[in-house]
């Protein structure tokens, strides 16, 4: 089979389409013919090397060669021993949450708190290939009417659901701020907030074109290029109060402004540090105003099923920037690193 193989760190030029052996499913596993695989920041870091030269906490770097790709939709090709309830040709999406299933956190339904938590396709061989193997227990059935490209978004949309609906605790009528609203998680967070009954969704983006796309998605756009101190604009539009909830997947460059955009008692959920992991802010702006900062990485299986059900039923229509053939993987990485996308970048073998 053909697969994207990374043999060393570097620019997009180190990505190569190679002929590699087709994997065989073991006990409890399914061989999937990949129909769509969306990119995430973890795919970029696996190729370029970890941000700041440090592995993405709490994991160590993977060994070369590697094939990444955690967001996978496809069809059952073959099954290993012990697999029930699936047959060749069934449409599916892979739940990227891997956990032990036995620790106190797994038993409480919080799989991403598991000491053995990993992400499918980032810490295991992934779906940027024609075929991939996954545990049968990690498969969700995809309705026939849904395009594979729209289904291959579980990591970003599960994270957004966690940030807004679960950890963020959105209540209908609240104002929401989404920072980095053009990325996969950011666009998902806008849609989840609207579904959850947010009164207004403010979207911080870069550039007028992305601003127009955010407005088309039902948000109020704020261009960070022309309004770097976006908290001032938020306070102006909320009569000095601030927003109830802010989702910030960017990290260090935006933390100070995001915190200042919160009303008294407001909540800020965080899931990433793509712009840097060491923010500079005044902690008094947090505790003196009863604000809360809440970690919200990925989500649990309940979060995943909730958001995928919303996608399957059409309540959420995932925003896709572009769909490219696997042969254009270098262009896909370039596009994401240059932050030219608005929504998900999806690859099809």
Domain membership of residue 60 as a residue range: 2-153+318-348
Pairing of strands 262-270, 243-248: parallel
333 and 248 together in one domain: no
Q: Cα separation of 245 and 292, whole Å?
A: 10
Pairing of strands 118-119, 97-98: antiparallel
What is the CB neighbour count within 10 angstroms for residue 170?
23
pLDDT at residue 169 in the model: 97
206-254 residue pLDDT tens: 999 999 999 999 999 999 999 999 999 999 999 999 999 999 999 999 9
pLDDT at residue 56 in the model: 63
pLDDT at residue 50 in the model: 73
**Residue 305 maps to a domain:** no
What is the CB neighbour count within 10 angstroms for residue 278?
9
Residue 109 structure tokens: 């339904």
65-93 residue pLDDT tens: 999 999 999 999 999 999 999 999 999 99
7 and 149 together in one domain: yes
179 and 114 together in one domain: no
Task: Give strand pairing partners of 176.
Answer: 201, 245
* Mean pLDDT estimate for the chain: 95
C-beta of residue 66 within 8 angstroms of C-beta of residue 5: yes
Q: Cα separation of 184 and 345, whole Å?
A: 8
Report how far apart the first and last C-alpha atoms of the chain are (Å, whole number). 10
C-beta of residue 70 within 8 angstroms of C-beta of residue 44: no
CATH number at residue 105: 3.90.180.10
78 and 216 together in one domain: no
pTM: 0.95
**Residue 322 maps to a domain:** yes
pLDDT at residue 273 in the model: 86
* Average pLDDT, integer, range 174-201: 98
299-342 residue pLDDT tens: 999 999 999 999 999 999 999 999 999 999 999 999 999 999 99
**Residue 215 maps to a domain:** yes
pLDDT at residue 58 in the model: 64
Q: Domain total for the chain? A: 2
């Amino acid at each position: 089979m053909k697969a994207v193989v990374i043999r060393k760190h570097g620019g997009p030029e180190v990505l190569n389409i190679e002929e590699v052996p087709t994997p065989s499913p073991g006990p409890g596993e399914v061989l999937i013919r990949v129909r769509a695989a969306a990119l995430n920041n973890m795919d970029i870091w696996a190729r370029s090397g970890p941000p700041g030269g440090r592995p993405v906490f709490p994991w160590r770097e993977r060994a070369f060669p590697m094939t990444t790709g955690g967001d996978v939709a496809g069809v059952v090709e073959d099954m290993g021993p012990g697999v029930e309830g699936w047959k060749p040709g069934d449409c599916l999406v892979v739940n990227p949450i891997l956990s032990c299933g036995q620790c106190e956190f797994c038993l409480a339904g919080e799989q991403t708190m598991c000491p053995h938590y990993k992400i499918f396709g980032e810490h295991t061989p992934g779906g940027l290939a024609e075929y991939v193997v996954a545990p049968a227990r990690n498969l969700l059935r995809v309705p026939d009417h849904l395009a594979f490209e729209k289904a291959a978004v579980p990591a970003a949309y599960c994270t957004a659901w966690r940030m807004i609906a679960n950890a963020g605790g959105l209540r209908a009528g609240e104002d929401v701020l989404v920072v980095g609203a053009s990325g996969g998680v950011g666009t998902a967070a806008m849609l989840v907030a609207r579904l959850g009954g947010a009164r207004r969704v403010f979207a911080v983006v870069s550039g007028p074109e992305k601003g127009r796309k955010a407005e088309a998605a039902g948000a109020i756009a704020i261009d960070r290029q022309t309004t770097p101190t976006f908290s001032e604009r938020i306070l102006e539009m909320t009569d000095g109060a601030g927003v109830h909830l802010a989702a910030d997947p960017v990290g260090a460059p935006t933390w100070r402004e995001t915190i200042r955009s919160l009303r008294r008692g407001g909540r800020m959920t965080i899931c990433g540090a793509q712009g840097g992991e060491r923010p500079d802010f005044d902690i008094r702006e947090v505790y003196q105003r009863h604000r809360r900062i809440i970690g919200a990485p990925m989500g649990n299986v309940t979060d995943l099923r909730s958001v995928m059900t919303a996608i399957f039923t059409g309540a959420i229509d995932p925003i896709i920037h572009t769909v490219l053939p696997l042969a254009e993987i270098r262009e896909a990485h370039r596009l994401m690193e240059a932050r030219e996308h608005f929504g998900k970048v999806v690859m099809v073998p």
